Amino acid sequence: MKNIYLLLATVFFIHSAPAAELFGTVDAVTGEVTVLTANGESLRVSSGQKIFEGQTIQTSASGEVHIASADSGLIALRPNSNVRIDRFSAKGEPADESVLTLFKGAMRAITGWVAKRNPSAYRIKTPTATIGVRGTDHETTVIETATGDSLPGTYNTVQEGITVVQTAHGEIEVRPGQHIFASRDDNAAPRLLAQHPGFFLRRQLRIEERIQQRKEAMQQHVKNIMEDRAEAVRENIGDRKPEIQKNREALKRRIQEHRARERTKP
């Protein structure tokens, strides 16, 4: 009997536990890519697979994956990379947010409408920096070990928009075509680089050509969503105008009545 009660309690807990938020759907994948679920299970990633808050995606030396996020954004995880979806919510509410941690490797991110509506709700964290945006297409790289001309730390390159890279030693704004470096070992603020990092030019990506096409479609979708929401707000205000006017007139009458009473007092 005790075992039955334990089983029932377990089933109740499983069904009553809140479901993890959907982060996005795998749009394209090549090579070996795995996802580590919140309960520690490791699964091979395939096209069309759902990715949830709390999961960690890992790519092998030959692996790449593109994930279309639920807010019409896109992340492209490069080979030998590891990223965790820390927190994500895209419900059209003030609490919406997108927070990811890139532990190693590289990831290109095209922000969706969560960042468009509230830039402060979007962050990419690395072992040495935190990156915020203002409507952006950017790429973040974490180098763990010095190789050739690449020093350990965080690199950020902006394709479109603006990012703000912060560390314990300062912050820097990064604009299109600029590249910054935040050192892992030096107690110095992030600094602009004179040119593309060497590794950026040497890399070989196999499904990169898909990004521009997806980017254009997603940006149009985000634009439509933002316009629809702005129109809904205007319509809501318009619907409330008679009520607002009625309340104003009632308030005006009360003020006039109060003044009349004050004038008649002895």
Q: Give the phi and the psi of residue 16 in degrees, each rounded to 5.
A: -90, -15
Residue 172 has pLDDT above 50, yes or no: yes
Pairing of strands 122-125, 130-143: antiparallel
Q: Are 188 and 172 in contact (CB under 8 A)?
A: no
Task: For residue 47, give the nearest of 61, 71, 31 by alpha carbon.
Answer: 31
Q: What is the pLDDT of residues 21-33, one digit of tens each?
A: 999 999 999 999 9
Q: How far apart are CA 55 and CA 42, in angstroms?
A: 10
- The verdict on residue 29 lying in a domain is yes
- The verdict on residue 137 lying in a domain is yes
- The verdict on residue 191 lying in a domain is yes
- The verdict on residue 51 lying in a domain is yes
- The verdict on residue 78 lying in a domain is yes
pLDDT averaged over every residue in the chain: 87
Q: What is the pLDDT of residue 7?
A: 46
Q: What's the mean pLDDT in 218-222?
A: 77
Q: Are 76 and 59 in contact (CB under 8 A)?
A: no
Q: How far apart are CA 85 and CA 164, in angstroms?
A: 20
**Residue 78 structural domain:** 2-206
Q: What is the pLDDT of residues 64-95, one digit of tens each?
A: 999 999 999 999 999 999 999 999 999 999 99
Q: How far apart are CA 69 and CA 51, in angstroms?
A: 9
Is pTM beyond 0.85? Reply is: no
Residue 264 has pLDDT above 50, yes or no: yes
- The verdict on residue 229 lying in a domain is no
- The verdict on residue 33 lying in a domain is yes
- The verdict on residue 260 lying in a domain is no
CATH code of the domain in which 90 resides: 2.60.120.1440
State which amino acid sits at residue 69: S
Q: What is the number of domains present in the chain?
A: 1
